[in-house]
Copies of this chain bind each other. A is one copy, B any other.
Amino acid sequence: MTPLLTKYKDVRSQTRDICRPLKTEDYVVQPVADVSPPKWHLGHTTWFFEAMILKPFLQGYIPFNPDFDFVFNSYYESLGARVIRTQRGNLSRPSVDEVNHYRDHVDQAMEMLLVQEVNEQVATLVTLGCHHEQQHQELLWTDIKFILGHNPLFPAYEENFIGKTELPEHPTPVIEVKGGVYPIGFSGDGFCFDNELERHKVYLQDFSISGALVTNEEFLEFIDDDGYLNFAHWHAEGWDWVRNNSVSAPLYWHKIDNRWFHYTLGGLKPLRRDAALGHVSYYEASAFAAWKGKRLPTEFEWEVSSEHFRWGERWEWTESAYLPYPGFKRSPGAIGEYNGKFMVNQKVLRGASLFTPSGHSRNTYRNFFHPHLRWQLTGIRLAQ
Contact = CB atoms under 8 A, between A and B. Distances in A.
Interface of A: 23-31, 39, 67, 70-71, 75, 77-78, 83, 87, 89-96, 147-148, 150-153, 155, 179, 181, 200-203, 205, 207, 231-232, 234-239, 282-283, 286, 295, 319-321, 323-324, 326-327, 336, 341-345, 347, 371
Contacts of A237: 344-345
A74 to B, nearest CB: 11
A127 B236 CA distance: 25
Contacts of A205: 200-201, 326-327
A78 to B, nearest CB: 7
Given A203-B202, A320-B323, A321-B323, A93 B341 contact: no
B152 A341 contact: no
Nearest 10 Cβ contacts at the A-B interface: A321-B321, A203-B203, A31-B90, A25-B92, A77-B231, A24-B24, A26-B92, A205-B326, A236-B341, A28-B28
B341 A235 contact: yes
Contact of A92 (B70, B147, B327): B147
B203 A201 contact: yes
A28 B92 contact: yes
A152 B201 contact: no
B24 A343 contact: no
B231 A203 contact: no
A242 to B, nearest CB: 12
28 contacts: A23-B92, A23-B93, A24-B96, A25-B27, A25-B28, A25-B92, A25-B95, A28-B28, A28-B29, A30-B90, A67-B153, A78-B231, A83-B152, A90-B147, A93-B148, A179-B201, A181-B181, A203-B203, A207-B326, A232-B336, A234-B341, A235-B341, A236-B341, A236-B342, A237-B345, A295-B324, A319-B324, A320-B323
A70 B152 contact: yes
B91 A151 contact: yes
A83 to B, nearest CB: 7
A345 B371 contact: yes
A101 B56 CA distance: 49
A87 B205 CA distance: 44
